[in-house]
Amino acid sequence: MLKARILTSIVLVPLFLAALFLLPPLFWSLLMLGVIAIGAWEWGGMIKLKRVARQTFVAATLVIGIAIIMPINLEIALLQRQVVLFAILIAAVFWVLVIPVWLSIHRPANKLFVNILIGWLILLATWLSLVIIPLKNPWVLLGVMATVWIADSAAYFAGKRFGRHKLASSISPGKTWEGVMGACLAVSLYGLILCQTYHIDMILIPGLLILTFLSVIGDLFESLMKRNAGIKDSGRILPGHGGLLDRIDGLTASLPLAAVFIYLTDYYELWMQLK
pLDDT tens for residues 17-66?
Answer: 999 999 999 999 999 999 999 999 999 999 999 999 999 999 999 999 99
Q: What is the DSSP letter of 174?
A: E
CA distance 68 to 205: 33
Dihedral sign for Cα atoms in the order 232, 236, 242, 246: negative
| pLDDT surpassing 90 at residue 106 | no
- What is the domain range of residue 249? 2-274
164-210 pLDDT per residue, tens? 899 988 888 889 999 999 999 999 999 999 999 999 999 999 999 99
CA distance 180 to 195: 22
Percent above pLDDT 90 for the chain: 71
The kind and range of the H/E element at 172 are: strand 172-176
CA distance 110 to 224: 12
In 3D space, the residue among 19, 5, 52 whose CA is nearest the CA of residue 246 turns out to be 5
pLDDT at residue 228 in the model: 87
pLDDT confidence bin for 100, thresholds 50/70/90: very high
| pLDDT surpassing 70 at residue 241 | no
Percent above pLDDT 70 for the chain: 93
CB 182 within 8 A of CB 176: no
CA distance 66 to 58: 12
* Count of domains forming the chain: 1
pLDDT confidence bin for 240, thresholds 50/70/90: low
| pLDDT surpassing 70 at residue 142 | yes
pLDDT at residue 93 in the model: 97
CA distance 42 to 185: 32
Give CA separation, 210 vs 12, 63, 76, 184, 255, in Å: 27, 33, 34, 9, 11
CA distance 37 to 118: 15
pLDDT at residue 3 in the model: 67
The Cβ of residue 100 has, within 10 Å, a number of other Cβ atoms equal to 14
Average pLDDT score, the chain: 90
pLDDT confidence bin for 90, thresholds 50/70/90: very high
pLDDT at residue 107 in the model: 72
pLDDT at residue 237 in the model: 83
Q: What are residue 174's phi and psi, to 5 degrees?
A: -80, -15
pLDDT at residue 50 in the model: 94
Compare 158 and 170 and report the one with higher pLDDT: 158
Burial pattern 1-35, b for ≥16 Cβ within 10 A else e, equals eeeebeebbeeeeeeeeeebeebeeeebbbebbeb
pLDDT at residue 273 in the model: 76
Helix or strand or coil: residue 242? strand
pLDDT at residue 111 in the model: 86
Write down the pTM of the prediction: 0.93
